[in-house]
Amino acid sequence: MTRIMIVNGPNLNMLGRREPDIYGHQTYADLIKMISRHCQEKGIDVKIMQSNHEGALVDAIQQAADYCDGIVINPAAYTHTSVAILDALKAAALPAVEVHISDVDSREEFRHLSYPGMYCFKTVKGEGLAGYLTAIDALLAKIGL
């Protein structure tokens, strides 16, 4: 069975609790439900993780290389700083899609640069939580599903 990993970076567990004008009112639990339902409908297995720690995200990407067919990643603030996450994605060598809830390009200048995005074959941004489903569908199309 096809298996994908969803990797979420720092503070995304706070969804729905702060800054609803930027990230909406839905919670991280709502996001997990939405992704799980979508993957069930598609008949694929999904592992969803979130960490506030850069090394834990690197560990998860390395593990994905052993048992997953692709990665959807929202590295959150590490998007704009982390060469370690870029290197982990390169090492895992799986197809990967980057997703951002907000439209990072219309925000502060420092959010315009993405290190993980240099590896990902697609970036979805500004679609809210639904962007994760767009990213999953793009990944599945790439994998050939």
Q: Which residues are catalytic?
A: 23, 100
Q: Is residue 65 near ligand CA2 by the rule CB under 6 A?
A: no
Instruction: Report if residue 72 touches ligand CA2, rule: CB under 6 A.
Output: no
Q: Among 5, 6, 12, 97, which residue interacts with ligand CA2 (rule: CB under 6 A)?
A: 12
Judged by CB under 6 A, the residue of 50, 51, 82, 102 near ligand CA2 is: 102
Q: What is the total count of residues that contact ligand CA2 (CB under 6 A)? A: 17
CB nearer ligand CA2, residue 23 or residue 69: 23
DSSP secondary structure string, the chain? --EEEEEE-TTGGGTTTS-HHHH-S--HHHHHHHHHHHHHHHT-EEEEEE-S-HHHHHHHHHHHHHH-SEEEEE-GGGGGT-HHHHHHHHHHT--EEEEESS-GGGS-GGGS--SGGGT-SEEEESSTTHHHHHHHHHHHHHHT-
Contact code string over 22-51 relative to ligand CA2, x by CB under 6 A: -x----------------------------
Residue 99 main-chain phi, psi, to 5 deg: -130, 140
When the beta carbons of 69 and 131 are compared against ligand CA2, the nearer one is 131
Q: Please report, as ranges, the residues that interact with ligand CA2 according to CB under 6 A.
A: 11-12, 14-15, 17-19, 23, 74, 76-77, 79, 100-102, 104, 111
